[in-house]
Amino acid sequence: MSASRLAAQTVRALPRKRLSRALGRLAASAAPQSWVDAAISAFVKAYDVDLSEVDMPPDGFRTFDDFFTRKLITGARLVDGNPRALVSPADGRIEDLGRLTAGAELLVKGQTYSAADLIGDPDAAALYEGGHYFIVYLSPRDYHRVHAPTSGAVQYVRYVPGTLFPVNRIGTDHIPQLFARNERLAIVQESVVHGVVTTIMVGAIGVGRIGLSFDDLQTNRGDAPGVRSYADSPIALDRGEELGVFHMGSTAIVMTPPACELEVASEAGASVRMGEAMAIGGLDER
């Protein structure tokens, strides 16, 4: 048995959500500053984190979670100047990309996923049959805030409950239907340029919490699953404005409708930064 498969079986046996909540409380606790600084220093060294672009608090980070959810200095990330660019919502690696099938299915690392399972709503998923999808994996060293890939108003957010497996190679290689099993938030924007675009923030083991930047909804802390609608007062966001934050993890999945004709500007395996173009195009205006 390979080491990665053994690790996956070990993770399956763990009480993952309870463990993640406990780690979350620890990461957010106000431990002695010397302990926090030592933990951050070890993490920075282990994962080669670039601190030169971090918006550093004057007195340092008070908790490890403050460091992990760090903001960047102004100008550290630039949004592509083409208004028809669909931009990366996060720093990371393009794990996979392509077109959804007629049955709204997508292929990720050799596994077939249903958009209905990922979004948590078959009717909403049908909007993406034949559209494009982009999957961005955030490694531990990456900046963990997620931003709008398009300009448009947030219409609603769906909180899909689930478990919390790792989303690294151990998870993607050995946990079937990983992204459809982990807790996630599906954030739906309506864009004049790109149509109805869904960004799915997928949680992972660890702290295991996802928070919205425009609402108080957070996963894995007892908030009720389901839909939060903003139809009466849509939240307008430009490309690059903040959607949410990962408190450990994870992966962001962007889906566009088939009427949005895109010329893909990236490739699977490529490194990407928030704001860089993943594709150029928009709604077919013929």
Q: Which domain holds residue 116?
A: 1-286
Tens of pLDDT along 48-74? 999 999 999 988 899 999 999 999 999
Q: What local confidence, expressed as pLDDT, does residue 185 receive?
A: 95
> What tens digit of pLDDT does each residue of 76-124 get?
999 999 999 999 999 999 999 999 998 899 988 788 999 999 999 999 9
Is the pTM higher than 0.85? The answer reads yes
Rounded to 5, what percent of the chain is helix, strand, coil? Answer: 25, 35, 45
Catalytic residue numbers, as ranges: 91, 147, 250
Q: What is the mean pLDDT of the chain?
A: 87
pLDDT, greater one: 186 or 13: 186
- Phi and psi, residue 105, nearest 5°: -110, 150
Q: Rounded distance, CA 5 to CA 174, Å? A: 6
Q: Are 267 and 97 a contacting pair, CB within 8 Å?
A: yes
Confidence of residue 24 (pLDDT cuts 50, 70, 90): low
In this structure, what token pair is assigned to residue 9?
């079986």
Q: What percent of the chain has pLDDT over 90?
A: 66
Indicate the number of domains in the chain. 1
- pLDDT-derived band at 263 (thresholds 50, 70, 90) equals very high
CB 136 within 8 A of CB 95: yes
Model confidence at 173, pLDDT cuts 50, 70, 90, reads low
Q: Which residue has the higher pLDDT, 220 or 180?
A: 180
pLDDT band at 281 (very low <50, low <70, confident <90, very high): very high
